[in-house]
Chains A and B, each alone.
Chain A
């Protein structure tokens, strides 16, 4: 069974450009999460989808970030326009079904998308 896959693995863009990151969760996983780690800092939660609905987007830093999950399958995270401080690693994760972590679900993480804004 395929794990959580993310694309691209690495991206270098100029300040002001747009980047779209894609995440394919494990098949059948209703919960999809985005996290990011900027250099030297902790990994921080961005948002959580349940199927196609945004359950919690409290971690989104500002309105330059837009996440979508059309059809409840894969998700995209768009940064427009990108700023230097957006550089970091963007992780996607998924869990199956209901109940979240409290039901014993494990969060499966992808390998991350490394974004560098120059």
Chain B
């Protein structure tokens, strides 16, 4: 069965510093990978997705993620964090055994941004 691990429950980053959120997945073939963000009081917003092709994926709000098959990872990065980036971030994999009709999520990483 597919699974996603986000090893960091909380991360605190200073405003303007770089950010990397970790995501590891377990899946037997090339996965479909996603990063979602949930800001306080908001729904889940898609930041970026990887289906195939270039392993470095650009998303919205200045985020990018890199698919590394050898490490089963899909880490999210941002070169300079803004206070408005404080939110909870979820990595997810598309479950192939359902025809990619559902997502399996990690437990999320809460990002705190300090002044």
- Which residues from chain A sit less than 8 Å from chain B, CB to CB? 3-4, 31, 33, 35, 40-45, 48, 55-56, 59, 91, 93, 100-102, 104, 106-112
Contacts and interface: CB of A to CB of B under 8 A. Distances in A.
B46 to A, nearest CB: 6
B104 interface: yes
A35 B43 CA distance: 12
Q: B4, B45, B102 — which one has the most chain A CB atoms within 10 A of its CB? A: B102
Contacts of B106: 42
B105 A48 contact: no
Contacts, number: 64
Interface residues of B, number: 25
A92 B47 CA distance: 18
Nearest to A43: B105
A114 B106 CA distance: 19
B100 A100 contact: yes
A109 B94 contact: no
Contacts of B103: 35, 43, 45, 101, 107
A26 B42 CA distance: 17
Nearest to B93: A101
B44 interface: yes
Contact of B44 (A59, A100, A109): A109
